[in-house]
Amino acid sequence: MRRRKKKNKIVIIVLLLLVAIAGFHYGYNKLSSSNNKIEVKEEEKPKEYSASLVMVGDLLVHDRLYNAMKTSNGYDFKPALTYIKDIVKEYDIAYYNQETILGGEEIGLSSYPSFNSPYEVGDAMIDAGFNLVSLATNHTLDRGEKAITNSVNYWNKHPSVLAVGSYLSFEERNKVRIKEVNNITYTMLNYTYGTNGIKVPEGKEYLVNVWPCTGNNLESDTKYQEYKEKVKEDIKRVRDKVDLLIVAMHWGVEYTHIPTNYQLDMASFLEEEGVDIIIGTHPHVVMPVTYINDTLVVYSLGNFLSAQETNIDNNTTVGLMSGITITKKVDKDKTEIGLSNLTNELLYTYSKNNRDYKVIPFSNPDIKEYLEDYERIYNKYAKVITNMNDKVTVNNLG
């Protein structure tokens, strides 16, 4: 009996061991299977990234403006940006148009009609957070090749800034310059409609990117169509190398709020070629904001900071600040770029007796102190911004 009991005990122990081993294998396999499932899910889960872009218009420096910014040690434009700086710092990418060339004080500052501006203009804008700049304007050739050399050398000393549209060689012009923020790569191309009748030196077309338009019939404008093919080549060179492609266009008719046929045609062409965002400058007044399919088009941001006196009902003292969120979604081998959260903010450039220049958002309550008729002015230019797209909105008054 005892032996049997012992044998039975051994059998029970063996059976328990077998059950334990089987349970261990079952649990291990289940855990392993579960881990594998988790890993697969993580691999298959799309990755998303986002970045923000803000855009403002022309920085146009007449002598009235730089004289107001004169100090005992050069020039200081930073006080004019007091109301703007904290807003711009919230964005990853911040664009503006340098309307007047930064040739520096060394070659003599000058005003209309042949502008040359101090380097301190750029210093203030960089300090405020701007890192994307267009240089191709109708004033790029105002002071000749020396001013362009000084300008490009200035911007090349600030590698954090992508400044495009004016170069010192064809090699530099054709180089694909890519920036990256939050795993989103981007670049910008930039063209001007002309150079105020100043001929670009033959063989040095790299000095300023021109996409000429004469104002005549589109179809019969052979030069316009010819340069369209050059722009197409530029786009083809960069389009597949970046997630986001921006084109800054210096175009349109000054002091008008309605896009020309040229602007409409250029915008449609750029959209067809895969451009994501089109930024317009030159008219010195605001124009509508809209979309062509998925392409954002800002026809004119107007002036950002200027002392321009060609002013009817504050048209050249009211500019636009537009913001957009760029999203990148990566799902296996597929990448999608999207634009969302468009915001539009009207800006007012204040001055008194050609002194104390300040750029103030209409949403800031202080606007009441600087612009007496601010409500009517806001309503007037908000209608211009939304004229082509009823889904576009403008930030409310402060």
Q: Find the helix or strand (DSSP H, E) in which 323 lies.
A: strand 318-331
Which residues is 189 bridged to in the sheet? 247
The end-to-end CA distance of the chain, in Å, is 99
Q: What is the full per-residue pLDDT of the chain (398 aa) written as tens digits?
A: 333 333 344 444 444 455 455 454 555 454 445 455 445 455 578 899 999 999 999 999 999 999 999 999 999 999 999 999 999 999 999 999 999 999 999 999 999 999 999 999 999 999 999 999 999 999 999 999 999 999 999 999 999 999 999 999 999 999 999 999 999 999 999 999 999 999 999 999 999 999 998 766 788 888 899 999 999 999 999 999 999 999 999 999 999 999 999 999 999 999 999 999 999 999 999 999 999 999 999 999 999 999 998 889 999 999 999 999 999 999 988 999 999 999 999 999 999 999 999 999 999 999 999 999 999 999 999 999 999 999 999 999 98
Separation of alpha carbons 303 and 317, rounded Å:
7
Q: DSSP secondary-structure letter at 256?
A: -
DSSP-derived pairing of the beta strands 162-164 and 132-134? parallel
Q: Find the helix or strand (DSSP H, E) in which 117 lies.
A: none
Neighbours of 10 (CB within 10 A): 10
pLDDT, one tens digit per residue, over 138-165 is: 999 999 999 999 999 999 999 999 999 9
Q: DSSP secondary-structure letter at 116?
A: B
Please, are residues 264 and 295 in contact by the beta-carbon 8 Å criterion? Answer: no
Q: Is the peptide bond before 361 cis (omega within 30 degrees of 0)?
A: no
Separation of alpha carbons 194 and 209, rounded Å:
9
- Global pTM value: 0.89
Please, are residues 66 and 75 in contact by the beta-carbon 8 Å criterion? Answer: yes
Separation of alpha carbons 88 and 394, rounded Å:
17
Distances (CA, A) of 394 to 85, 92, 302, 343: 20, 21, 15, 7
Q: Is the peptide bond before 113 cis (omega within 30 degrees of 0)?
A: yes
Distances (CA, A) of 20 to 12, 30, 68, 232: 12, 15, 88, 71
Distances (CA, A) of 229 to 50, 225, 270: 32, 7, 11
Give residue 250's Cα distance to chain centre: 14
Separation of alpha carbons 312 and 377, rounded Å:
11
Buried b (16+ CB within 10 A) or exposed e, 64-93: bbbebbeeeeebebeebbebbeebbeebbb
pLDDT, one tens digit per residue, over 283-326 is: 999 999 999 999 999 999 999 999 998 889 999 999 999 999 99
Neighbours of 111 (CB within 10 A): 17
Please, are residues 172 and 206 in contact by the beta-carbon 8 Å criterion? Answer: yes
Separation of alpha carbons 221 and 261, rounded Å:
12
Please, are residues 178 and 242 in contact by the beta-carbon 8 Å criterion? Answer: yes
Tokens of 149: 């050399």
Which residues is 75 bridged to in the sheet? 70
Separation of alpha carbons 263 and 250, rounded Å:
10
Separation of alpha carbons 221 and 255, rounded Å:
24
192 residue type, one letter: T
Q: Find the helix or strand (DSSP H, E) in which 37 lies.
A: helix 2-44
354 residue type, one letter: N
**Phi, psi at 322, each rounded to 5°:** -110, 140
pLDDT, one tens digit per residue, over 224-243 is: 999 999 999 999 999 999 99
Tokens 């338009």 correspond to 213
Burial group, residue 398, by CB count within 10 angstroms (0-12, 13-18, 19+): middle
Give residue 166's Cα distance to chain centre: 17
